[in-house]
Each structure stands twice: as C-alpha cells, then as structure tokens.
Amino acid sequence: MLRALPGGRSREREAESADKLTLLTALERKVLWLSTWMIHNANHLRPSRDGLKVGGHQASSASVATLMTALYLDVMRPQDRVAVKPHAAPIFHALQYLLGHQSVEKLERFRAFGGAQSYPSRTKDGDIVDFSTGSVGLGVGMTLFASLVQDYLRLHRLMPADASPGRMIALAGDAELDEGNIFEALLEGWKHDVRNLWWIIDYNRQSLDAVVSDRLFGRIDALFEMFGWRVVTLKYGRLLQAAFARPDGEHLREWIDDCPNSLYSALVYKGGEGWREHLRRDLNRYPGIRAILDGHDDDALARLMTNLAGHDMGSVLDALHAVTDDRPTCFIAYTIKGYGLPFAGHKDNHAGLMNPAQMEIFQHSMAVPAGQEWARFAGLDIPADALEAFLADVPLARAGTRNHQTPPIPVPTELPVPNGRRLSTQEAFGRLLGTLATGDSALASRIVTTSPDVTVSTNLGAWVNRRGIFDRTERADTFREEKVVSAQRWVMAPKGQHIELGIAEHNLFLELAALGLAGPLFGARLLPIGTIYDPFIKRGLDAFNYALYQDARFILVATPSGITLAPEGGAHQSIAEPLIGLAQPGVVGFEPAYADELACLLRWAFEEIQREDGQSVYFRLSTRPIDQPEREIGADLAEAIIAGAYWLREPAPDAELAIAYCGALAPEALGAYEAICEDVPGAGLLAVTSPDRLHREWREALASGATSVAERLLRRLRPGAAIITAADSHPATLSWLGSVARNVVLPLGVDGFGQSGDIPDLYRVYRLDVDAIVDAAARACLRATTGTDG
Ligand SMILES: Cc1ncc(C[n+]2csc(CCOP(=O)(O)OP(=O)(O)O)c2C)c(N)n1
Ligand SMILES: [Mg+2]
C-alpha cells in the first residue's frame, strides 16, 4: 500500500506530463501558424499604400516556435523576464494572443501604425514586453545587467528577499553572438558573480546573409564555461536519439555530427530525397543504416533528420526544467531556420516570405479552415475547452500586470549650492553628491552611481567614500588596512551604492537601462547616476539609445568635455555630443556653466526621471574652474535655467547684438560682452543651459502657435539683431537660434578634431576666445545692418 501510492502518483504524473506534452505540441503548432499568418496577412492581404515591402521574419520565427512555446506556456514564472530575439516578435505576439494579453486587431495590424510592433517594444507593445529588442546583442546583454540589478535590490532589501528571484532570460539568435557587447557583458557579469541568468541560443546556424562558420560554436561552449556558466546543449530530438540507439545508429550520429553547417542546411531545404542520396553515398555499407533508410519514406526521413532537440518539445521541457539552481546557464538549442516552412534551411530565407500558393498548402497542412485564420484553436485536434483550461492555468496567464507601479521618491525643494569662488561644474557635481551622501534622505538611499572605470576622474570619490561599493560579499579596502594613504576608501559590501564597472561604455548604458527600469521590472525605484567621459558616449551610443528607447530613467553625467579639456588632446575632446543631447529622444541634455545652475538642474533631474512622462537627463560638465556669480537663484531664474536659457546680462530694449553661450565658455562670453559693451551699449548676454530643451520647446510652440521661450527671450533684441553663438562643441548646437526670431547669427564652435594645448592656445586656434567673439560680433553687426560682410 505504502509503495503503491507513490507509484500511482508517478503514473499519474507521467500521464499528466504526456497530456501536457500533447497540449504544448498542439499549441506550438498554433503559434507557428499564427506567426506565419500574421506576416503573410501584413504582406499579402493588407492593402499597401506605399508599395513598400512590409516584411517580417517567417523563418527566424519558426526557428524558435518550440523554445518560446515551452518558455511562455510552461516554464516561465511571473517574476521571470525575457529579452526575445528581435525578429521573433511574431512568435511573441502569437503567444501573448493565446495567453489573452494581445488582441487580434493588433495582430492584424502587425507592422502597421498602432499595431503589434515589428520588434518587441516595452513602450509601444505595452505591459507584455519585458525588454525591448531590435539592435541584436543588446537585449542579451540587458538580461545580464537586469540580473545584477535584481541582486542589488534584494541585497539592499528593496525587494522581498524571501520571494524567489526571477530568471532573466535571453532568447538569442546564434549570430547575435558576433556582437562584441555580449562578451563585454559576460566578463562584467563574471566579475559581479551574476545569477539567475539564462541565455537560450537558437542555434539554427544561419545569420542574415549566410550559414555561420562551423568552427565558431566549438568555441562558444568553452567560452561560457570559462566564465563559470553551465552549458546545456540540446542537440538531438527524441526521434533521432531513438535512431542512434538502433544497430549502426552511432554512424548516423557521427555523420550528422560531422556534417558541415552549410550541407546540413542545404539538405534540410532539399528534403527526404536529398538526405537519402547523401546517406546512401556515405553510409550504405552499414546494414543498420540501410534498414533505417528503407523504413522511412522521404517525408519520414526528412522528419527524422531534422529532429533537432530545439524542435522537440519534450527535450526542450526536460532541459529547461532540469535547471533549478541560480547558476547562469547557456542553453545551446539546435534548431532549423524556417522549420516546418517550405524554405527551411535555405540560406536566403532570412527575409523570405511564403508566397500565396505556399501559404495555401501550409494552411491546408495546418487544417485551418478558410476564414478561421485568426481563430485561437482552429485546426488543432484537441477540444477547445481543454486548450482553454490549460492556457488559463499557465503561470503567465494567471499573473496580473507585468509592470510594477512605484511611488516617487521625494526630492528636497533645493540642493545646497557648493560654495567656492572658482569651481568647475565637475567639481560642483562631486560636491553635490558628496553632500547628499552625508545625509540619510530617502533620495540618497535610492541613488545608485555607476561608472566604467572613471569613478575617481569624474569626481564620484566623495560619494563612493561615504556610500561604498556594491558587492555580494564584504571586502575590506586593502590599501586602507595596510595604512597606505589614499583619498579613496573602496570598501565593498552588499549595501554599497556604487557599482564599479570595467571600461566598457556599452556595459554602462546597458546597466543604466536595467537600473533605470528597476521600478517597473522589480517594484523598487532606483535613481541611477552614471558617469562617463563625454567623448565616450559615442562608444556606447547604441546601448544609450537602447536604454532610452525602452524609457529607462537615469542621469548621465558626462565629464570632462570639449576642447576645454585642453592638454588631454584630440582623442578625449568631445565635439558632437551636445548634438546627441539635442537629437536623441528620451533624454534631455544640459550644459550648465555655474555650480548654482547645476544644483538647481540636478534637483530638477531627480524629479524629471521619476515623472510619468519624464525623461532621462544628460549633463555635459567640464573640469575648467571658472569664477562663480554671486547671486541667489530665485524661482524665476530657476525656472529659466531649467527651461534652457536666461539673460545673464539683460539686453537693452532694441539691442542690436547679443552673445549666446553654453557651459565652460562663460568667461570668454563675459569677457567679450564687456569689451563689446563699450561700442555696442545695451548688448545682451544669453546663458544657454540647454540647447536641447530650448530647441524642443521652440518646435512645439511653432506647432501649437504659442510663443516659445527662445522667441520670448530673443524678442528683447531689435528685429534682425546680430547674435554670436559660442559653444565648446559643434556650432550647430546653437546656430539654429537665428531662425527663432530672424536674427543674423554668426556661430562659433568646434568642427575639427581637437589637439593638445592650454585653453588660451586652443580657444585662439578654434576661434572661441574673447578676441574671436569680439571679431565675430563686429562682423555680425555689419551683416545685420548692411546685409553684407562689408
Ligand atoms: C546591431 C544590428 N545589426 C544588424 C541587424 C540586422 N539583423 C537582423 S537579424 C540579423 C541576423 C540574425 O541572425 P541570428 O541572430 O542568427 O538570428 P536568426 O534569424 O538566425 O534566428 C541581422 C544581421 C540588427 N538587427 N542589429
Ligand atoms: Mg541564426
């Protein structure tokens, strides 16, 4: 009796899992059908108004139908988070549709305005998407940093430590592993001992252009193992394994193992006849193989030879369920690109679309009656109520919303302005954070700083000394213990609030993406501040864009910047970055000149990154100490600083000249202004704190018919007055100001590479010094009054 019970249970369990397998296999079919049809509908049935191919990736989608069905309909728990390879969006949408989280209208409008997105998007597809994807490699890296953020929150007790952690899962294409950012992330992840991370590689041996190198994957598993990952290879499905177990079966295994990727792919495409010809040629001497060939007609032989584990639901479930610990795991799942579709294995199938005739055959084989193409269960030989009941019980279907709502962290009404007669904005930033670090405000407790090996040189030292470096385990500062004098105290502990990264700006931005989504993803808001050298924003630009595209919120402090960095020379001097601030959606760029402006802006930034429809904030700072104005910033001035500009020296009514400057050029602008005032009394001096905000608001005002901030400011000048714009960046940063109120603009700035020198030399050579501004003013005034250069 005692024995019978467990035996009975295990039989019950076996029956249950057989049922589950049947249900999941049926649903996988449906997912493949829906994804293929979704793309077909978009390309062939929806009327085209512009003659463009709509596109969509039927082959890439088919490749992951089994893996994704297993994940979404069985393996995943609500706390798990997934980055889906971008071109598998149709499979993702189909699964969400089956789970009741996606509407048929959106599927019908796949790739149309307002429809299901071409690539999964957090902001446009809504609550169903965990991580946006599109630029290959980035979603994969993102999961690693998300797992680091999850650990940070758990160790800071900002998330319940007793609830099971979510697994951060990437479903990656094999060619995604050509992207360097993945390896940068791997190395960083190893240093931080990341956990709960699954990368499932859809190893279909094809990229966009070609079949991938045979030798590559021999390296990949060793590489993951080197970083401490578990590698699980899902190679052969159950049919093939059964064939290998037959007499002479080992020769079949060897043959497939040795088969070059391109031959395997070509034979997949050719089908049973092709397989038979090659196997006969190579293995006919083995009676067991002859028996296998004789026992399979062409269709059955093709089914057997393509029975890779990534398309075998049972194998996939076994492999995924077998991992129960938190060790990072890479699953290499052998698949076929276009599996189940007529162009399976064809090297040109990436953008391939089934034609209407092929679709008709496919529809017939799927037993989907005409007119029922969108029906959830049409063509499946399992009763709808059984499928419905199964789906209703899937953990992801039962879970509520995937995005957490978190209350904003209160921000004080002002941040104390660092005192000092001469300060650089970089120093002011360090002191502002240093002061925040001493208090025990809620704000300070949620700030997390991070930097790719430029923590000290971007002035985060005071903050880090007080708040410590985040690490899973306590680690003393050896230099301190050994009484070696240093200004830095690098104590590492789980409660540390600075995440130190190696030099890889891509990692910085992926980490900021994850930190900046801590609220919606994990239910605990963080206020991330990343520091970087301004020129190296470009190094991580795609990841920066990626972070912003999915509405991650953070503060980026980029310093030093421009040729003002003087002796460091051209390799470190940034030029185009303010234009990135101006043109990049999702972030607002500022380039303040004075410490009091920065204090006011940083306070605002803490609010802005928490506002429902806010943005991230980018500060371009400088190491140049400059004289600070003696003033109190009242509400009006604060508002103007945040809006992007204010008159540092008011123009007289009808002034014929103004100088508009940004950031560290304030002393030159002031010097020139004072020199000019003797000849042009009543000239104005415009401090531009944010070309980005000013420009955006100007465009919005033009569209709505309102008067913009910039126009209100410039209207103080005489119509057609001259403006000299000066920025330590590309002149286009401010030259557009001439269009606001039809002024004559003479833009100064940097449009060639920098070089070493001191500030006087460089400002002279790049025509940004007082003389150059005065000279430009004279020419601009002439042009404004005579319409010529004289
Ligand atoms: C950064 C970037 N470069 C190029 C592309 C264009 N692209 C989209 S998919 C793809 C090939 C992907 O191959 P793989 O990852 O193996 O996916 P599969 O389609 O085989 O599943 C390329 C080059 C992209 N999306 N992102
Ligand atoms: Mg591939």
Three-class DSSP labels, 400-428 = CCCCCCCCCCCCCCCCCCCCCCEECHHHH
d(CA 201, CA 185): 16
* 168-173 and 81-84 beta bridge pairing: parallel
- 591 touches 662 (CB < 8 A): yes
Residue list, CB under 5 A from ion ligand 2: 173-175, 204, 206
| CA quadruple 571, 574, 580, 581: dihedral sign | positive
Measured in Å, residue 207 CA sits from the centre of ligand 1 at 6
Ligand number with the minimum distance to the CA of 177? 1
* Other CB atoms within 10 A of residue 385 CB: 9
Q: What is the pLDDT of residue 71?
A: 98
* Other CB atoms within 10 A of residue 440 CB: 8
Measured in Å, residue 337 CA sits from the centre of ligand 2 at 7
Q: What is the pLDDT of residue 3?
A: 41
Model confidence at 328: pLDDT above 80: yes
Model confidence at 486: pLDDT above 90: no
d(CA 671, CA 268): 75
d(CA 284, CA 303): 20
Closest atom of ligand 1 relative to the 134 alpha carbon? 25
Short-list 111, 675, 96, CA closest to 396 = 96
How far is the first Cα of the chain from the last one, in angstroms, to the nearest whole number? 110
Measured in Å, residue 546 CA sits from the centre of ligand 2 at 22
Overall average pLDDT of the 421-434 stretch: 98
- 137 touches 434 (CB < 8 A): no
Closest atom of ligand 1 relative to the 135 alpha carbon? 26
Model confidence at 2: pLDDT above 70: no
- 733 touches 753 (CB < 8 A): no
At 257-284, the pLDDT tens digits run: 999 999 999 999 999 999 999 999 999 9
Closest atom of ligand 1 relative to the 136 alpha carbon? 26
Ligand 1, residues 136, 261, 337: which to mutate, most atoms within 8 A of Cβ?
136
- 700 touches 659 (CB < 8 A): no
Please give the order of strands across the beta sheet that includes 329-334: 81-84, 168-173, 197-203, 329-334, 230-234
Measured in Å, residue 199 CA sits from the centre of ligand 2 at 14
Measured in Å, residue 203 CA sits from the centre of ligand 2 at 6
Q: What is the pLDDT of residue 5?
A: 41
Q: What is the pLDDT of residue 6?
A: 45
> In DSSP terms, which residues pair with 617 in a beta bridge?
555, 588
Model confidence at 655: pLDDT above 90: yes
At 678-706, the pLDDT tens digits run: 888 899 999 999 999 999 999 999 999 99
778 Cβ neighbours under 8 A, 6+ residues apart: none
Ligand number with the minimum distance to the CA of 173? 1
Measured in Å, residue 333 CA sits from the centre of ligand 2 at 11
| CA quadruple 210, 211, 214, 218: dihedral sign | positive
Retrieve residue 184's tokens. Answer: 């940068």
Overall average pLDDT of the 376-387 stretch: 96
Model confidence at 4: pLDDT above 50: no
* Other CB atoms within 10 A of residue 453 CB: 13
Measured in Å, residue 262 CA sits from the centre of ligand 2 at 13
At 502-557, the pLDDT tens digits run: 999 999 999 999 999 999 999 999 999 999 999 999 999 999 999 999 999 999 99
Measured in Å, residue 244 CA sits from the centre of ligand 2 at 26
* Other CB atoms within 10 A of residue 14 CB: 10
Q: Using a 6 Å CB cutoff, which residues line ligand 1?
A: 60, 63, 85-87, 135-136, 173-176, 202, 204, 206-208, 337, 350
Ligand 1, residues 39, 177, 208, 213: which to mutate, most atoms within 8 A of Cβ?
208
Model confidence at 401: pLDDT above 90: no
Ligand 1, residues 39, 60, 205, 332: which to mutate, most atoms within 8 A of Cβ?
60
Distance of CA 551 to the CA centre of its chain: 9
Output the residue whose Cα is nearest ligand 1's atom 1. 135
Overall average pLDDT of the 657-668 stretch: 98
Overall average pLDDT of the 611-622 stretch: 98
Measured in Å, residue 37 CA sits from the centre of ligand 2 at 21
Q: What is the pLDDT of residue 9?
A: 63
% of the chain with per-residue pLDDT over 90: 88
Output the residue whose Cα is nearest ligand 1's atom 17. 173
